Chains A and B, each alone.
Chain A
């Protein structure tokens, strides 16, 4: 029995393109103007970068299986954004130390998540939700509600402004990042082992894979990538507030799902997540341009997620 099937990442990309073309017909859309269309497309991609990178760690954790999910992502983004803001304090030479610091802090939080999941066998949902609470509380205690600092000029230059042929730095960063993610998932032992533990942990263990070590490493990596996300987000906005990361949590999971990564683990790709981030960002900005209320936007986002997952679920070979 052969049925024409379409891979989920491709489906998400096609959906994104269709949505984009559709947006051209809106009253204030690009119409037939190619230059405006290009500019709008670049802007959408630029806006997707931050969700895309924050969702990268989520992708790894979901692929690792065992009901893997990282609900501490939002809180870690907030914490690391604030850290970046205060460490950098407007000085260019402080950018690298700040980047290093957020990677370490994000990684440590992830390490604790992983240790809780692997050693204490706390379910990922509970462990990372608890961690989100702890980190949020920590932010309040440390900042006392107000944050002082500033981003450095070089960050704004590299992240928010066009760098090459009118393409914003953020998009270039994303392209390089995506290449690394592909390499990590498809061309390293870590990636192969990650898919293995996500598919069947008993088989993985009996094939010589250190499952415990893999779980801890994956959550640590997820924390680090959320840290990188926080760094980039604050570099883009230039200002920070104590809820800056929160709006990324639900979309980061949705992007992974829309991108066709199996929520039960063992199957997925970062390209899918990138396409998912594009779709979600597009829908949000489309609805915003249409001057829909926040409530309607949420409903449409939720419905899209359900529709995509329902379609993927019907495909052969996608069900176990």
Chain B
């Protein structure tokens, strides 16, 4: 059968980052294609190219045999390509029915919205998932009142309400429970018999094996393999996904498991639970660089925030042998814990304020009254010099700095306080290579000086090279602990997909 969609040699660059180099795939009517790849391999970019959210720099898209170029998601939708987005695209204030039919409302006399028809059609759609959500969910329920899984279902219904020829499911199962996933798979089976083509993006290998007919693997923006699912094992796919270690960029002597065992446990966490975390336990040693890996959104952010007192949690945390339960970052800060958050501009910086003020936000209390500005200036200068901050001056606004230099400011504000535990949420995201190397040297030095570092990164290579020990998270749990000889990219990728179980050391 002729493919419904053929993507040929697509490339896409975002600034300095080449997200896609040479990506290709084909999907035929009535077929489910699994698009798989590690973090940053270009899956999301490729799906955005297909549904018209981003314009490719090069390559070709053939839809139903004709070359197409979608200028907007709307154009793609009109052509019959519908996407269930990973980041939910629903408007919380509107009802389920309003959201599903937004911009495509059934009309009476061409101007008035026909609410009765809208309701009826919404009920038909909801009946597809009947029994898997709460009984009081009706077309008139506002989306803000829905649970995350119910929102995801509405999102799926919205995507299929246009009767698409091609349906892209981008991590659509992430927030669904097993019963809902099973229902979705039953429905996918039905849609396939009606000739719908499906591109399925998921981080759960089990699901991929169950639902996909064919697979296409992306690695570093390139399509490195494709074929029929029945001919491939999970191991084969993992091998395709794991990037070759380029090595050399990072030099750090890893602490051996024996060495670690002799060190004091500075942080002990037992059965930590939040909305996303489902019972995380771990021990961290003094001066250790503990890596946290896994695909994005598996609870890494919640783990770091909970330790820092930024979000409420259940469970036990022992710091330096004493039980603590921080309800505000200020308390964590007083105990020598620091967090470099994942969203630099949104959570780490005061963009319109000066570099000086950004460096001193957590520390003003230590400067007396009236604030000793000269000392503040001196201390900030020392940190700026230590981090080799490239700036016009301490009074320049922090918004004038490049991504890497801005991140140095976020780290610098905590270094001013000499933290004993430094938590980092993907600190090298959007940072240039030279600055990354500086970070690696800095983290190495901090650990040598006795600071404990917990680093989550979406860059697998970085984690493998830097970590003394690596915990891989999957679905709110720690799926695997890698140390010593098991600390390899292949193991990390496998664990990220939930292939391996946790080995008890």
Contacts and interface: CB of A to CB of B under 8 A. Distances in A.
Interface of A: 183, 186-189, 192-193, 195-196, 199-200, 202-210, 262, 266-267, 317, 320
A207 B369 contact: no
Contact of A202 (B328, B347, B371): B347
Contacts of B413: 207
A192 B361 contact: yes
A311 to B, nearest CB: 18
B351 A210 contact: no
Contacts of A192: 357, 360-361, 364, 371
Contact of B357 (A188, A196, A205): A196
A183 B368 CA distance: 13
A195 to B, nearest CB: 6
A206 B347 contact: yes
Interface in B302-349: 308, 310, 328-330, 333, 339, 341, 346-349
A201 to B, nearest CB: 10
B347 A183 contact: no
B74 interface: no
Nearest to A193: B364
Interface in B361-390: 361-362, 364-365, 367, 369-371, 373
Contacts of A320: 351-352
B350 interface: yes
Nearest to B376: A192
Given A207-B361, A208-B333, A200 B371 contact: no
15 contacts: A187-B373, A189-B364, A189-B365, A192-B371, A195-B357, A196-B357, A196-B361, A199-B351, A199-B353, A203-B346, A203-B348, A204-B350, A205-B328, A209-B330, A317-B352
A194 to B, nearest CB: 11
A279 to B, nearest CB: 24
A1 B278 CA distance: 52
A266 B347 CA distance: 15
Interface in B183-220: none
Interface in B34-50: none
Given A192-B361, A209-B361, A200 B351 contact: yes
Contacts, number: 81
Contacts of B352: 199, 262, 266-267, 317, 320
Contacts of B279: none
Q: Which of A187, A192, A202: most chain B Cβ within 10 A?
A: A192
A59 B341 CA distance: 31
Interface residues of B, number: 29
B430 interface: no
A203 B361 contact: yes
Nearest to A199: B350
B3 interface: no
A189 B370 CA distance: 9
A186 B397 CA distance: 16
B329 A196 contact: no
A189 B367 CA distance: 8
B369 A210 contact: no
Contact of B362 (A187, A188, A199, A207): A207
Given A189-B364, A192-B360, A193-B364, A203 B349 contact: yes
Contacts of B349: 200, 203
A206 B373 contact: no
A204 B361 contact: yes
Interface string B219-235: 00000000000000000
Contacts of A183: 370
B350 A187 contact: no
Contact of B353 (A188, A195, A208, A209): A195
Contacts of B333: 208
Counting from the closest, the 5 A-B pairs by CB-CB distance are A187-B370, A199-B350, A208-B330, A207-B361, A208-B333
Contacts of B308: 206
